[in-house]
Amino acid sequence: MIPAFIVLCDQPKVDIPRPSRACSVSQRDFHPNEPFFSVLLGENGLFVRKDITAEHWTEPPDEFFGWWKSTVKHVADNTTQQFSSETLQSLFERLTALPGEADTLYVLTLLLLRRKLLRYEKEVADEQGNKLLEVYALHTDMTYQVPVAMPGQERLEAIQQQLAVLTNV
C-alpha cells in the first residue's frame, strides 16, 4: 500500500473533512483530551473521514487511503480570542504604514497566510540585504513586501496582547 501522504500529495486539491465530535462506531461524543483514530476512505469519488474512539479501534479497514491517531483538543475556557478576517485585514493595512512595527506586522502576516487571506509570492531582499516576504492580499488585490522579523518568545506574547488591543477585543 502507498503511504497516505504520497497519495494526498499527488492530488491537485484535497478536501479532507474536519474531525467529527463523536465516534462513528458507537456514536458517543468524544471527551476532552481523549485519543481517537481517524481513517480516510473513498466513497463515490470523495474522501470520507471516520473518527473512532481508541476503545473501538482495531485496525484500518480494507481500501483505506490513510489513517492517523489524534487527541481531542481540550478547551479549558474561552480565553482564546478569535479575530474576524475583516478585523485582521484592516489591522494589516494599518500596520503596513507604521514604521517600527516590523515584528508585529510579520506575525500578523504569518497568521493571514495561515488563514489564506494572504498568498505567499516569494522572498526578496531590499537594498540593505534584509529579507522581505512578498505577499498578495486577496481582499485588496495588492502585493506587499513585509520584513522578516521573527520575535523572541517574550516579544511574541507581547505582540499577542498588542493585537488584542489593536483589534479592540
Which tens digit of pLDDT belongs to each residue from 98-150? Answer: 878 888 888 888 888 888 889 999 999 999 999 999 999 888 889 999 999 88
Whether 47 has a pLDDT exceeding 60, the answer reads yes
pLDDT higher at 35 or 166: 35
> Is there a domain that residue 124 lies in?
yes
Whether pTM exceeds 0.95: no
Give the count of domains, the chain: 2
pLDDT average, residue stretch 142-169: 80
pLDDT for 169? 45
**Domain of 30, in residue numbers:** 4-71
pLDDT tens-digit profile of 68-108? 998 888 655 444 456 677 888 888 888 888 878 888 888 88
**pLDDT tens for each residue of 3-24:** 444 444 444 455 677 788 899 9
Same-domain pairing of 94 and 23: no
pLDDT reported for residue 76: 52
Query: Which residues pair with residue 22 across a beta bridge?
Result: 29
79 part of a folded domain: no
Does one domain contain both 60 and 93?
no
DSSP notation for the chain: ---HHHHHHTSSS--PPPPPSB-TTT-PBPPTT-EEEEEEEEETTEEEEEEEEGGG--SPPTTEEEEEEEEPPP--SS-S----HHHHHHHHHHHHT-TT-HHHHHHHHHHHHHTTSEEEEEEEE-TT--EEEEEEETTTTEEEEEE-----HHHHHHHHHHHHHHTT-
- Do 37 and 91 lie in one domain? The reply is no
Q: What is the pLDDT of residue 5?
A: 44
pLDDT at 1 over 60: no
Considering the domain architecture, whether residues 99 and 129 belong to the same structural domain is answered as yes
Question: What confidence category does residue 2 fall into, taking pLDDT thresholds of 50, 70 and 90?
Answer: very low
Contact between 112 and 120 under an 8 Å Cβ cutoff? The reply is no
Strand order of the sheet with strand 64-71?
46-53, 35-43, 64-71
pLDDT at 144: 92
